[in-house]
Amino acid sequence: MPESPSDELHPNCQRVNQLLQAHGLPGRVRLLAEPAPTAKAAADQLGCDIGAIANSLVFTTSAGEPLLVMTSGAHRVDQAVVGELLGQPIRRATPDFVRQHTGQPIGGVAPIGHPAPVRTLVDRDLSAFELLWAAGGIPHAVFPLSYRELVLITGGTEASVA
């Protein structure tokens, strides 16, 4: 898949590229032919295992704080398990809450590039894959990275979330 020139990219994608570069990572945002608002749609277009899609799911805690869970596209987040890890219940965030805290739309939330840091959990199941794909800030954009790079750039906590 060809890399898109940065001057043609959406500002969200440009911000992700800037942050990847600042972390010294080689991955760059690429545009897909079609939107990929789900892990299956992304995996189908990329020709990879659905488990290698690092899904960005935003939740809200009972205290009203955002929580980003980077999970394998192969399964769902168990909200009770994550709530126990945090010591408080969580629920799926509304589209408005997601955009407010990430600056990005559902289906395209990148693990980085948000207006302010968002507490992040990184699904340990993603470590089974040499190469992961994460959203690049809009539903048409993705970028490659490793599990270790995902943990590094998000400052996330490794956890079992399924």
Q: In this structure, are residues 125 and 81 in contact, taking their beta carbons and an 8 Å threshold?
A: no
- Chain centroid to Cα 111, Å, comes to 4
Question: How many whole angstroms separate alpha carbon 22 and alpha carbon 16?
Answer: 10
Q: Provide the pLDDT confidence category of residue 8 given band limits of 50, 70 and 90.
A: confident
Q: Which CATH number fits domain 6-159: 3.20.20.70, 3.90.960.10, 1.10.150.530, 3.30.420.40?
A: 3.90.960.10
For the cut 90, the answer to whether the pLDDT of residue 40 exceeds it is yes
pLDDT, residue 27, reads 85
The tens digit of pLDDT for each residue in 61-118 reads 999 999 999 999 999 999 999 999 999 999 999 999 999 999 999 999 999 999 999 9
Q: What is the DSSP letter of 87?
A: T
Spatial CA neighbour of 103 closest among 3, 40, 19, 8? 19
Supply angle C-alpha 57, 61, 63, rounded to 5.
150
Question: How many whole angstroms separate alpha carbon 67 and alpha carbon 59?
Answer: 5
Average pLDDT, the chain: 94
For the cut 50, the answer to whether the pLDDT of residue 3 exceeds it is no
